[in-house]
Amino acid sequence: MENKQDANILMTSIDVFPWNEHFNTGILKIDEQHQKLVQLLNRLASHMAFQSDKETLDIVFQELTAYAVYHFETEEAIWHEYLHDSSIEAAHKAEHDNFVLTVLSLKSKENSNSVASMIEKMLSFLVSWLASHILENDKYMALVVLTMQTGISQEEAESHARNHLHGQMSVLIKLILSTYGSLATNTIQLMTESVERKQAEKKLQTFANQLKKSFQHLDLANKNLEKQYIDSIRAFSRIIEMRPGIKSGQSKYIAEKALLVARELNVEKEQSKSIFYAGLLIQLGKMSLPDNLLLPAYFKIPLAEKTRYLKHAIDGEALLNGLTQLKEASKFIRHQYEFYDGTGFPDGLANQNIPLGSRILSVVRDYIAYLEGSITGEAMSVRATIDKLMELKSSHYDPDIVDSFIRILKATPVDEEFVAELPKPKKSWKNSKLMNSSKTLTLERPIIEISLAQLKPGMEIESVYFDSKPYLKNCVLDQKIINNITSLKENTGKDPIIKIHMGKR
Ligand SMILES: [Fe+2]
């Protein structure tokens, strides 16, 4: 379609064989037909150059040859009227016949030669034959006939025509023939190149589109794969937390808050993902800790055992060894107990030498641990926990990260696009009105999801759902309630979704 439009534009503006007044023989009927023949030749050339489909080419070609035959008959009738049965009439007719035979012969070879070669041969023949035949033979014949009309004999008329045309036309014929020959060849070449270029561009565009589509599919596949990957790590994280003594729900909270801090600090996307993964797996090494180290608060662990406890960070790293996608996350896990002043575990790294992910994770991890009481043995309020983080700013924690985390706790502007494939922050985080306009801490306590096995009397329930239906809201647990939830689980076979408030009021 596009090619045909291009061909039409050029066909009206470029003729391989422009009409020239020197082609006029002086016999109107013949000149009109010559012009029509030249027009048909130009049309055929354009269709050939623009590689129109074979059907179209055949139609134009047949039109040209049929018109040539019709014209030859018209012309021969005129010559016959004046030059009947003369040798020049016979010679002229033979030339016409020869033309038709040559054209048909060239056409018959179109399948055995390359298209380009056929086009070149056919057009070269048509242009040179028409030009030389009209300029030499037809003009000569016309001059003889026109001269005879003045009453001169055929013999005298032929002699007059020979003398007249020889001097005037021979140079002109050569000049026109060579000009037309090269014009035709160059024009065809240019037109063919233009078509080939357009076809190449079209192919390139098609290829580019296919490539784009492939990348889009790949991107989608990657996104699906990544989602599956995140889901697997989440599932793994929940399995780790089934071990008694490992705090359930905390890893998810740590991962999500750490991701928000990373976003607030404009950490690039890949590293943010690693921070998120490290958060989910932060307690992985605790799997190998004995109960006597898992159950008590950190301050209650005997001094001699503290290093063993902290070593879970190294175990966590080792367990992830060989998982390429978690390589960076495993480093963050290893260095989660480094202190900003360089007095931490295991390598005594200081300041910016501590991996950024580890610096972020330690702040969020300790925030939840202080609230819960798993560091000091006493649950703390949000206010007291924030004060604690501020107090340990610069010694334990990167001060910029503590500030960022507190800003996150106050309110979090959410850049949806940045976390497109990572979990969306909860609405309550996005819509948090806490401390937006005031410096006073009125932060709400975190709510985390924990498993039934970890319920203990005294915990503050935010909600318990069975099969999407609310069972309990805002109450303090006692053993009786825990027993009720346990029997309901046994009777219905459904796992409850339990959320508790962290920290003291
Ligand atoms: Fe002729």
47 C-alpha to ligand 1 centroid (Å): 25
446 C-alpha to ligand 1 centroid (Å): 102
CA atoms within 13 A on the CB side of 106: 19
Rounded CA-CA distance 400/127 in Å is: 84
What does the pLDDT read at residue 435?
35
| Nearest Cα residue to 259 out of 419, 57, 448, 479 | 419
116 C-alpha to ligand 1 centroid (Å): 29
8 C-alpha to ligand 1 centroid (Å): 30
70 C-alpha to ligand 1 centroid (Å): 11
> ω before 346 within 30° of 0 (cis)?
yes
94 C-alpha to ligand 1 centroid (Å): 10
134 C-alpha to ligand 1 centroid (Å): 6
Beta bridge partners of 498: 450, 464
CB atoms < 10 A from the CB of 152, how many?
Answer: 14
What does the pLDDT read at residue 420?
35
Q: Which residues contact 470 (CB under 8 A, 6 or more apart)?
A: 463, 464
138 C-alpha to ligand 1 centroid (Å): 5
Determine whether 305 is exposed, middle or buried from the number of CB atoms within 10 Å of its CB (0-12, 13-18, 19+): middle
75 C-alpha to ligand 1 centroid (Å): 6
What does the pLDDT read at residue 415?
36
What does the pLDDT read at residue 495?
86
What does the pLDDT read at residue 220?
80
Q: Which residues of the chain have pLDDT under 70?
A: 1-16, 49-51, 110-117, 119-120, 166-185, 187-188, 190-192, 194-195, 244, 411-443
- The string of DSSP codes covering 213-232 is HHHHHHHHHHHHHHHHHHHH
DSSP type of residue 505:
-
Please give the helix or strand (H or E) that residue 463 lies within, else none: strand 460-466
79 C-alpha to ligand 1 centroid (Å): 9
127 C-alpha to ligand 1 centroid (Å): 14
392 C-alpha to ligand 1 centroid (Å): 108
182 C-alpha to ligand 1 centroid (Å): 23
The pLDDT tens digits of the residues spanning 200-224 come to: 778 777 877 887 787 788 778 778 7
76 C-alpha to ligand 1 centroid (Å): 7
What does the pLDDT read at residue 208?
74
Q: How far is CA 242 from CA 103, 248, 283, 460, 497, in A?
A: 90, 7, 11, 20, 14
412 C-alpha to ligand 1 centroid (Å): 92
133 C-alpha to ligand 1 centroid (Å): 6
Residues surrounding ion ligand 1 at CB below 5 Å: 75, 138
Which H, E and C letters describe 281-316, residue by residue? CCCHHHHHCCHHHHCCCHHHCCHHHHHHHHCHHHHH
339 C-alpha to ligand 1 centroid (Å): 105
DSSP type of residue 134:
I
What does the pLDDT read at residue 137?
87
- Give the tokens for residue 306: 């503290």
What does the pLDDT read at residue 182?
66
